Amino acid sequence: MNDDTQHLDGVLDLERDFYDQGLASGLPHGHLHGLIEGRELGRDHAWTLWDEIGHLEGTALLWRAILDAAQAPKAPLAAGSSTSTTSRASSTLDSVLALVDAFPTTNNSSEGEATHVTTEGVDMTAQLSTLRTKYRTACAALGIRPRMAVSSSATTNAGGGGDADQGGVDSLKSMGMSV
């Protein structure tokens, strides 16, 4: 009887052996694919984020140049604007440009544990929120309408079906522009 029990022990542990073998081979494989997919998702998110930051910087640089040209000795100020409004808008645009320059441009997540706060102690989410707020303040000081839509919402209508003109109108509306 004891001899029969030893032969059945191998059969009873068969399921557990296959489970352990699958776990040993599947866990590293899953970890590898998680890193690959995480990097791809991070790259896509970074592209969208920097598209928005580039728009904010470009808008600030454009309006800074317009204000500088309007303050030139030969050029009159724009209709309805005063010196205090212009200086307030100019200082707000300088703040937007300073925040864009201070935004982190490197990723140190491969050096250590990934957290929401980078190794330099900068909270990107809070910094982006501050940047968006300053941008809206600058737009209010300039009397323009801010575009706060991210680039992916404008591109979703471009490939969709339906009337081509309507897709373009929806794209413009999503960027805060009127037709």
- Measure the CA–CA gap between 110 and 100, rounded to whole angstroms: 24
pLDDT tens-digit profile of 9-27? Answer: 777 788 888 899 999 999 9
pLDDT tens-digit profile of 131-168? Answer: 999 999 999 999 888 876 554 444 444 444 444 445 44
Joined tokens for residue 177? 């522009």
Torsion over CA: 67, 69, 72, 75 (sign):
negative
> What pLDDT does 159 receive?
44
Using only C-alpha atoms, the chain has a radius of gyration, in whole angstroms, of: 28
Under 8 Å between Cβ of 171 and 163? no
Residue 63 CB coordination number (10 Å): 20
For the entire predicted model, the pTM comes to 0.59
